[in-house]
């Protein structure tokens, strides 16, 4: 007899979840229904808003020359930025993970840190150095430097996770090193590359602040202008729907492209770290290239922040309290993080422990906000509250809910992976030892997923604390967060006064980015 248990067939595997289909767990079902409702609410009311003035008017709004310009602007920006991010991300990841480049560990951290700097702060960093910087090339430069870590991180993780034995096997089957890389390694990191590029594209479609700073007209900028300056809610809603359609198309395209690669799984057995490749004469030039990348993405924004901090600020705007802004930011973000994490628990519980078509649909829905720019969610919530809940219009509560919807995917990813690591077998043993389901959740599930909950909370907190677009739209009159106060100063060219606010935001978000890169290094 072999010492390992033979594989049970799929039917038996699947059954290792609670299959008590007749009874839906009340609490989880209720929570998940609320999450799904919240995700769909802004979309539904955008549709209501857009068709308010009839289809003819809509057609007139959408079939304008301006919409074509916006499409062209978004397209050329997206293609250039995504390609650049892919090249920089994969190249940097390969150098750090697979070559003998010196100073690998500090580099691995430096390369991820730009993720902790909000895009509009990167824009501020460059433009405050060179006020002449604007238009297409400036937008490409700033967004590439802000977003390339989104490709670097997953690709580095994938490269680090590849079994070196696979490459050796390919070599022994007669493949030259380059061929082995192309046919084995590239195939394995392909889903990571695509996933990173998807995040870059969605980030580009949702960005507002950085483009406003370099005066580059995209959908988001136009929607914001229509709504905030033109007070044209119908046009804003119509353009938002176009943006949503584009984002969902991108999401679908990525799913289709990566579909087969995702199914790839490594079998059991010990993994062998792959051999590093000697760069030879290219070693120091490669290091210089990576340092230049870090300098542009990290050095310039941080440097100009420090410069303006030392300059001190004089401003024509009314004085504001950085303490109050910080307090508001922390309170709003903490509330949003708690709400998003709380909603992610029932969604993950249903998706993992009561798997069926409905719960699967709810789980998919919870990822939809990935394709919904913050501006779109904010406009949808405005459309809803103005019509049906005016007392909530521009309330802190509305803003918290907007954050929670916007960053629900982050929370679900964190909670779901933690929940998947907590075997349902443990919960069953708990039941057989006399604990009711609610006790089992408190005594077994909760302690096991606590780290995942904490990670989810931190991610949503940081994202909310640096959110600008939805905040500008939804904040209660007179309430300022770090992001909005920074924005008020920057658009008034009071760079010195803006710098402390950006500095605080960078500090808040650099911590998780640093922890993320540390965890990567250990893995």
Partner 1 sequence: MSHLTVQGLWKGYGAKPVLRELDLDVSAGSLTAVLGLSGCGKTTLLRVIAGFERAERGALTLGGTTLDDGGTYVPPERRRVGYVPQEGALFPHLDVAGNVGFGLTRAERRGETVPELLEMVGLAALAQRLPHQLSGGEQQRVALARALARRPEALLLDEPFSSLDASLRARVREEVHELLREQGVTTVLVTHDQEEALSLADKVAVLRDGHIVQQGTPAELYEHPADEPLARFLGAVNLLDARFSDGRAETALGVLELRGEPAAGSAAGLVVVRPEQLDVQARDQGDGDGARGFAGRVELCRYYGHDALLHIRPEGEADDAKVLLARVHGAQALPAGTPVRVLAHGAVTPL
Give the footprint of partner 1 on this chain (CB under 8 A).
1, 3-9, 11-12, 14-15, 18-20, 22, 423, 425-426, 428-436, 443-444, 447-448
Dist CA 245 CA 251 (whole Å): 10
For the chain, what is the radius of gyration of the CA atoms? 24
Contacts 24+ apart (CB under 8 A), 168-174: 168/272
* CB of 272 or CB of 436, closer to partner 1: 436
* CB of 3 or CB of 314, closer to partner 1: 3
* CB of 174 or CB of 434, closer to partner 1: 434
Q: How far is the CB of 161 from partner 1 (least distance, A)?
A: 22
Angle at 197 between CA 195 and CA 200, to 5 degrees: 115
Q: How far is the CB of 26 from partner 1 (least distance, A)?
A: 15
Q: How far is the CB of 154 from partner 1 (least distance, A)?
A: 27
Half-sphere exposure of 447 (CA within 13 A, CB side): 7
Q: How far is the CB of 22 from partner 1 (least distance, A)?
A: 8
Q: How far is the CB of 455 from partner 1 (least distance, A)?
A: 17
* CB of 14 or CB of 306, closer to partner 1: 14
Contacts 24+ apart (CB under 8 A), 18-24: 18/353, 18/354, 18/424, 18/427, 18/428, 21/354, 21/356, 24/354
* CB of 104 or CB of 431, closer to partner 1: 431
Dist CA 196 CA 151 (whole Å): 4
* CB of 4 or CB of 316, closer to partner 1: 4
Q: How far is the CB of 434 from partner 1 (least distance, A)?
A: 5
Q: For the chain, how are helix, strand and coil distributed in percent, rounded to 5?
A: 80, 0, 20
What is the DSSP track for 382-429? HHHHHHH-GGGTT-HHHHHHHHHHHTHHHHHHHHHHHHHHS-HHHHHH
Q: In 263-395, which ranges are continuous DSSP H helix?
A: 283-294, 300-311, 322-353, 357-367, 374-388
Say if residues 188 and 263 touch (Cβ distance below 8 Å): no
Q: How far is the CB of 340 from partner 1 (least distance, A)?
A: 24
* CB of 19 or CB of 492, closer to partner 1: 19
Q: What are phi and psi of 99, to 5 degrees?
A: -110, 175
Dist CA 253 CA 259 (whole Å): 10
Q: How far is the CB of 414 from partner 1 (least distance, A)?
A: 18
* CB of 84 or CB of 440, closer to partner 1: 440
Dist CA 99 CA 280 (whole Å): 10
Q: How far is the CB of 263 from partner 1 (least distance, A)?
A: 22
Dist CA 235 CA 57 (whole Å): 9
* CB of 402 or CB of 444, closer to partner 1: 444
Q: How far is the CB of 41 from partner 1 (least distance, A)?
A: 35
Within a 10 A sphere around the Cβ of 41, how many other Cβ atoms? 17
Residue 99: beta bridge partners?
Answer: 277
Which residues, at least 6 apart from 142, have a Cβ–Cβ distance to it below 8 Å?
119, 122, 123, 126, 210, 214
* CB of 7 or CB of 263, closer to partner 1: 7
């Amino acid at each position: 007899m072999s010492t390992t248990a033979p594989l049970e067939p799929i039917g038996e595997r699947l059954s290792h979840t609670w299959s008590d289909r007749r009874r839906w767990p009340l609490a989880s079902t209720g929570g998940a229904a609320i999450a799904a409702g919240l995700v769909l609410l802004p979309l539904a009311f955008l549709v209501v808003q857009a068709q308010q003035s009839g289809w003819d008017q809509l057609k007139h709004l959408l079939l304008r020359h301006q919409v074509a310009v916006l499409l062209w602007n978004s397209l050329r920006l997206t293609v250039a930025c995504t390609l650049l991010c892919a090249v920089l991300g994969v190249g940097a990841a390969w150098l750090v993970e697979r070559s003998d480049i010196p100073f690998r560990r500090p580099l691995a951290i430096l390369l991820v840190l730009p993720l902790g700097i909000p895009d509009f702060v990167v824009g501020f960093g460059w433009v405050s150095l060179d006020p002449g910087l604007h238009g297409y090339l400036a937008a490409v430069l700033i967004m590439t430097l802000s977003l390339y870590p989104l490709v670097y991180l997953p690709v580095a993780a994938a490269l680090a996770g590849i079994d070196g034995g696979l490459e050796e096997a390919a070599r022994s089957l007669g493949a030259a090193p380059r061929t082995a890389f192309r046919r084995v390694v590239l195939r394995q990191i392909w889903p990571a590359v695509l996933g990173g590029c998807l995040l870059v594209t969605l980030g580009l479609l949702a960005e507002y602040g950085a483009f406003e700073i370099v005066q580059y007209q995209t959908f988001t900028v136009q929607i914001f202008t229509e709504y905030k300056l033109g007070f044209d809610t119908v046009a804003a809603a119509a353009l938002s729907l176009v943006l949503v359609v584009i984002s969902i198309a991108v999401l679908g395209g990525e799913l289709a492209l990566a579909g087969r690669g995702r199914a790839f799984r490594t079998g059991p057995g010990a993994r062998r770290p792959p051999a590093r490749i000697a760069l030879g004469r290219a070693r120091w030039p490669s290091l210089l290239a990576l340092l230049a990348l870090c300098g542009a993405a990290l050095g310039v924004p941080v440097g100009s922040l420090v410069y303006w901090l030392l300059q001190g600020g004089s401003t024509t705007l009314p004085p504001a309290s950085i303490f109050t802004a910080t307090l508001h930011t922390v309170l709003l973000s903490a509330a949003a993080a708690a709400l998003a994490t709380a909603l992610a628990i029932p969604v993950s519980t249903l998706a993992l422990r009561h798997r069926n078509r409905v719960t699967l649909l709810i789980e998919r829905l919870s990822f939809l906000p990935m394709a919904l720019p913050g501006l779109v969610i904010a406009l949808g919530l405005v459309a809803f509250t103005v019509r049906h809940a005016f007392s909530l219009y521009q309330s802190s509560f509305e803003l918290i809910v907007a954050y929670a919807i916007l960053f629900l995917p982050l929370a679900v990813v964190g909670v779901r992976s933690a929940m998947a690591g907590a075997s349902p077998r443990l919960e069953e043993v708990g039941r057989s030892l006399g604990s009711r389901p609610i006790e089992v959740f408190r005594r077994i599930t909760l302690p096991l997923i606590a780290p995942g909950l904490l990670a989810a909370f931190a991610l949503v907190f940081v994202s909310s604390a640096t959110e600008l677009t939805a905040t500008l739209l939804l904040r209660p009159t007179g309430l300022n967060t770090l992001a909005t106060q920074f924005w008020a100063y920057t658009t008034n060219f009071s760079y010195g006064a803006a710098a402390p606010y950006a500095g605080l935001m960078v500090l808040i978000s650099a911590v998780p980015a640093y922890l993320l890169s540390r965890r990567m290094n250990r893995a």
